[in-house]
Amino acid sequence: MAKCEAVQGGTSFIESLPEVKNRSYNRELGKDRHNIELWLKFVAHQDEMFLSLEGGDNSKKTRAERLTSRQLFERKMSILDKAISLNYSCVRLKIERLKIGMHLWDEDKWNVELREVEFKHVNDPEMWQGVLDVLESDTRRFNFVAQVCD
């Protein structure tokens, strides 16, 4: 039986549900654990999952049923930790982890993580570009003089 032309090439309503997309990402990552773009898309997709869980009538949800922003960041961090364990030399994943860590860690922990990334990838221009992007986007931590003089 042929598909209706309006549906061909598109996604159905069911396929566009965040939970279904989540399972699809998991399935694809199970097949190709070294696909960095897919890992990063999966991390970004967690925002959509968060919004779908937050959507609707929150007044009917119990406190335990509501997902907090901290839980969202912890979920993203968990995904990135898994991705990094499988792709240890990937700077892009580590930079993304630093971005998420800005929201989870205290300043001392964040600085330790930053120094570790800098130490392990000192000769990688992608790391330096990523670190500078992270630092300048965080007005609480960005201090150009401190970055140059340290």
pLDDT in tens, 102-127: 999 999 999 999 999 999 999 999 99
Radius of gyration over alpha carbons of the chain, in Å?
A: 19
11 belongs to a structural domain: no
* 52-75: pLDDT as tens digits: 876 655 545 555 555 578 999 999
144 belongs to a structural domain: no
Spell out the residues 6+ positions from residue 128 whose beta carbon is closer than 8 angstroms to its own.
none
Question: pTM score, two decimals?
Answer: 0.75
Percent of the chain with pLDDT over 90: 61
1 belongs to a structural domain: no
116 belongs to a structural domain: yes
127 belongs to a structural domain: yes
10 belongs to a structural domain: no
13 belongs to a structural domain: no
Q: Residue 88 is part of which domain span? A: 18-53+63-137
86 belongs to a structural domain: yes
Q: How many structural domains comprise the chain? A: 1
130: CATH: 1.25.40
Residue 12 has which token pair?
Answer: 């159905």
CA of 15: how far to CAs of 8, 77, 79, 118, 135, in Å?
13, 26, 22, 40, 37
